[in-house]
C-alpha cells in the first residue's frame, strides 16, 4: 500500500498485519481524534490526528530497524485515546499514577477487531500492550523514543518551524 505521510513522505507498507491493523475499526476511530485536542480546536496548535501520529510512530520505528512486532505495537500505542484524552485523564484521575486511557487500553483492544487480526498473523495482542518490551517505541521521560519524536517532528512541520531537510536529517542521524 502506498502511504503519503506528512513527515516521512511517500512510503510503501507491505506487511499484511500492518495493513490490516491500519484498516481496522479500532484504528479508523483514531482518524477523527486530534492529537492536540482543545488547543487544536482553538487553532493554537497543529491539527493532526492520533491516527497520523500512530502511523508516524510505526514508520519511525521501522526506519530505525524495528521488527514487525514493534511496528505493530507502535501503530497501536495510542489506540485507547479519546477525544480530549488528557483532559479526560485528569477528570477520571484516581491517583493511581496510571492515566485513564492507559487503564482502559486492554479492555478496548480486547473488545475490538485487533486481537483477531493479530492472531491471524501469529501475534498475541497482550504482548503488544507491554510497551516496556519495545525500547524504540517508548521510554520513560525525559528519554527520547519514537512516540515523542514523531509528535515533536509533526509539531515542528505543522508550525512551520522545521527548515527544508531538517527533519529528514534528524531521522537519518538517529
Q: For the whole model, what pTM was predicted?
A: 0.85
pLDDT for res 75: 97
What cell was used for 3? 502511504
> What's the structural domain count of the chain?
1
- pLDDT tens track for 11-47: 999 999 999 999 999 999 899 777 665 555 566 666 6
**Residue closest to 110 by CA, chosen among 126, 89, 88:** 126
**What integer pLDDT is reported at residue 98 of this predicted model?**
55
Domain coverage including residue 28: 2-173
- Enter the DSSP assignment of 34: B
Looking at residue 140, which CATH number applies to its domain?
1.10.3210.10
With contact defined as beta carbons under 8 Å apart, do 35 and 57 qualify? Answer: no
5: how many CB neighbours lie within 10 A of its CB? 17
Percent of the chain with pLDDT over 90: 55
pLDDT one-digit tens code per residue, 4-13: 999 999 999 9
Nearest to 11 by CA among 173, 171, 174: 171
Amino acid at each position: 500500500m502506498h502511504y503519503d505521510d506528512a513527515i516521512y513522505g511517500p512510503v510503501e507498507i507491505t506487511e499484511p498485519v500492518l495493513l490490516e491493523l491500519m484498516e481496522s475499526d479500532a484504528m479508523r476511530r483514531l482518524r477523527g481524534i486530534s492529537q492536540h485536542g482543545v488547543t487544536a480546536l482553538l487553532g493554537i496548535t497543529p491539527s493532526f490526528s492520533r491516527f497520523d501520529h500512530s502511523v508516524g510512530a510505526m514508520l519511525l520505528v521501522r526506519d530505525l530497524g524495528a521488527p514487525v512486532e514493534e511496528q505493530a505495537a507502535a501503530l497501536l500505542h495510542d489506540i485507547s485515546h479519546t477525544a480530549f484524552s488528557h483532559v479526560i485523564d485528569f477528570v477520571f484521575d484516581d491517583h493511581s499514577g496510571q492515566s485513564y486511557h492507559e487503564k482502559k487500553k486492554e479492555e478496548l483492544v480486547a473488545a475490538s477487531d485487533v486481537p483477531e487480526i493479530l492472531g491471524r498473523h501469529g501475534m498475541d495482542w497482550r504482548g503488544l500492550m507491554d510497551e516496556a518490551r519495545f525500547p524504540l517505541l517508548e521510554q520513560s521521560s525525559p528519554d527520547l523514543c519514537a512516540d515523542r519524536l514523531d509528535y515533536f517532528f509533526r509539531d515542528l512541520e505543522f508550525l512551520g518551524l522545521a527548515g527544508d531537510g531538517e527533519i529528514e536529517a534528524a531521522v537519518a542521524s538517529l
